């Protein structure tokens, strides 16, 4: 996942989800369904395993295939994930986005420290 485009989209999803990993996953899934470049960037590290598994499944001996077809298929319910509309192109440069991510959550601490300083100064008067 060395693709800077993929990394930027992951960071963008984290920002859009306000740090929620679960929500960021939902956002990325929706974007990947509409964006081939993002999908390829996400899948690339796992492509060899996907291909190997597919070859294994297709080339199983006929006896193994008949055993698996006799068994009832297991159906796993898949939750419908709302597909968000693709966001307009990011206006932030990668450096600005990196800085914004590094500053996330720091504003609260600064405000608290400022309030404490004000209280301390008022108390000293």
pLDDT at 1: 46
pLDDT at 28: 92
Asked if 33 contacts 83 with a C-beta cutoff of 8 angstroms, the reply is yes
Q: Kindly indicate the confidence band of residue 5, based on its pLDDT and cuts at 50, 70 and 90.
A: very high
Q: Which of 57-61, 65-69, 105-109 has the lowest mean pLDDT?
A: 65-69
pLDDT for residue 89 is more than 70: no
Task: Give the separation between CA 120 and CA 125, rounded to whole angstroms.
Answer: 9
DSSP-derived letter for residue 17 is T
Return the axis-axis angle of helices 4-16 and 36-43, rounded to nearest 10°.
100
Q: How many Å separate Cα 29 from the centre of its chain? A: 7
Dihedral angle of Cα 70, 71, 73, 76, to the nearest 10 degrees: -170
**Mean pLDDT, all residues of the chain:** 76
pLDDT at 60: 85
- Beta-strand ranges (E) seen in the chain are none
């Amino acid at each position: 996942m060395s693709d800077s485009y993929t990394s930027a989209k992951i960071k963008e999803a984290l920002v859009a989800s306000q740090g929620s990993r679960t929500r960021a996953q939902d956002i990325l899934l929706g974007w990947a369904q509409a964006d081939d470049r993002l999908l390829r960037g996400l899948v690339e590290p796992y492509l060899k395993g996907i291909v190997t598994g597919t070859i294994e499944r297709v080339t199983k001996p006929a006896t193994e295939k008949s055993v698996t077809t006799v068994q009832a298929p297991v159906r796993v319910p898949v939750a419908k994930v709302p597909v968000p509309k693709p966001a307009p192109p990011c206006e932030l440069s990668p450096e600005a986005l990196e800085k914004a991510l590094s500053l996330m959550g720091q504003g609260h601490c600064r405000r608290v420290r400022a309030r404490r300083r004000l209280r301390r100064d008022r108390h000293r008067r």
